Amino acid sequence: FLGWNCGASEHAHRLLALGALALRRGEFRVLNREMPGELYWWCGPGAAEQFQSLHDQEPGTHRRLFSEVGLGCARDHWAGKASWCLLRGAPAPGGFPDGRLLPPSERENPGHHDDALSLCLVLDGEPFLIEPGLPPLQNPAERLLSRIGYHSAPRLQGEPEPLIYRALPEGHPACREVRMQEREGGVLFSATRAVWKGPEEAWALHRDVLFRPQAKTVIVRDRFEGQGEAMVETNLLLAPHIDILMRGDMGCLVRGKRLHARVNPIFPTRLRYNHARGQTRPFGGWHWSEGRGLQPTSRLRYFATLTLPTTIYLWINWDPREPAVPRARDLDLMLDGRRT
């Protein structure tokens, strides 16, 4: 087998190396790495020479929508210090008799992440919002890091975890695939997932992400459908090297190696926030990497009790000129394409 018992990242590197040889695409090779030894078995004795002779090719597009798996991604260019954005949508329900996406044994096992509507960002070449990672099967942190609250995603507090995925009737507001629209200076991604409040009742949770790398801005809009009062929240998992210089209910200032950015949550009423970094009780503010294992990082949580339906926003900006934070109405105009 390719990369047997070598870990998730190393396994991905080997798959990319095999793809590089099979498709003659040098850019699939991981930088400063030799050809994995298994490829001699797959591709024959001349594999190493072919591997070293491959040439990089720049992909023909800066954005791509993988609707089958619910994934949209975009970047500003392929050179160094690029900015890119990745949004995960909700997976489509599978063909199981009771309508679940996965059988209980799969949903409870390591490897399955509740990451619907989660966002990953790299700004000017620096990781900013990241995935929590995938620890080994026997690590007790695995089940915690796989939950929706440990991803950069919105949710209603009190949702059952693992999240419930059931088949929905045709035409339900939550039955929408990830969509992508070209916008001046960027791209708009939209995704939806269902929030199950009971065995038969599902509300829709919509996330729109306007990625504008030329303006050094990302706008996130989360729209919660439903009725009554509920605690709504949005979480942000920052890269381990990011330092928080200032934080509060109005947002935060962060600093990376060279990056300086602002994150401003915009709620219809006063909000609260929580910052966790390397906490054990309750567990929070952790990231797993194969090279360093479990390491502390910052997790920001913004939340408030609101009357549904409601809408909350995030304004992320890394422009050194520090433009003023727009109002919610102006953000809607930009997200809906009525203002640039």
Report whether CATH 3.90.1750.10 matches the domain 63-335.
no
Q: In what order do the strands lie in the sheet with 126-129?
A: 63-66, 71-75, 84-88, 119-123, 126-129
* φ and ψ of 221, to 5 deg: -125, 125
Given pLDDT bands bounded at 50, 70 and 90, which one contains residue 145? confident
Mean local confidence (pLDDT), 307-326: 94
Could you tell me whether strands 186-196 and 217-237 are parallel, antiparallel, or unpaired per DSSP bridges? unpaired
Residue type, 82: A
Write the pLDDT tens digit of every residue in 221-259.
Answer: 999 999 999 999 999 999 999 999 998 888 999 999 999
Given pLDDT bands bounded at 50, 70 and 90, which one contains residue 191? very high
- pLDDT (0 to 100) of residue 5: 62
CATH 2.70.98.70 in the chain, residue ranges = 63-335
Mean local confidence (pLDDT), 76-94: 82
pLDDT-above-90 percentage for the chain: 49
Mean local confidence (pLDDT), 288-316: 93
* Burial of 296 per CB tally in 10 Å (0-12, 13-18, 19+): middle
Mean local confidence (pLDDT), 161-185: 82
Q: Look at 79 and 340; give whichever has higher pLDDT.
A: 79
* Burial of 1 per CB tally in 10 Å (0-12, 13-18, 19+): exposed
Is it the case that residue 92 has pLDDT exceeding 70?
A: no
Write the pLDDT tens digit of every residue in 110-120.
Answer: 456 789 999 99
- Residues 87, 191: contact at Cβ < 8 Å? yes
24-28, 214-218, 243-247, 272-276: the lowest-pLDDT one? 24-28
Please give the model's pTM, rounded to 2 decimal places.
0.86
Write the CB contacts of 326 (distance below 8 Å, at least 6 apart in sequence).
315, 334
Is it the case that residue 109 has pLDDT exceeding 60?
A: no
Write the pLDDT tens digit of every residue in 52-61.
Answer: 888 888 777 8
Report the distance separating Cα 128 and Cα 316, nearest Å: 11
33-42, 132-141, 204-213, 251-260: the lowest-pLDDT one? 132-141
Ranges assigned E (strand) in the chain: 63-66, 71-75, 84-88, 119-123, 126-129, 154-156, 179-183, 186-196, 202-212, 217-237, 243-248, 251-255, 260-266, 272-277, 279-280, 283-284, 286-289, 293-296, 298-317
Report the distance separating Cα 268 and Cα 66, nearest Å: 33
Q: Look at 280 and 101; give whichever has higher pLDDT.
A: 280
Report the distance separating Cα 303 and Cα 312, nearest Å: 10
User: How is residue 152 written in tokens?
Assistant: 């950069």
- Residues 328, 311: contact at Cβ < 8 Å? yes
* φ and ψ of 288, to 5 deg: -110, 130
**In this structure, what DSSP letter does residue 149 have?**
G
* φ and ψ of 167, to 5 deg: -65, 140
Please give the C-alpha separations between residue 287 and each of 145, 147, 151, 207, in angstroms, as whole numbers: 8, 13, 10, 24
Of 146, 136, 79, whose CA–CA distance to 107 is shortest?
146
Query: Which residues are paired to 311 by β-bridges?
Result: 223
- pLDDT (0 to 100) of residue 8: 66
Rounded (10°) CA dihedral 240, 294, 296, 110: 90
Query: Which residues are paired to 164 by β-bridges?
Result: none
- pLDDT (0 to 100) of residue 30: 73
Write the CB contacts of 149 (distance below 8 Å, at least 6 apart in sequence).
155, 161, 235, 301
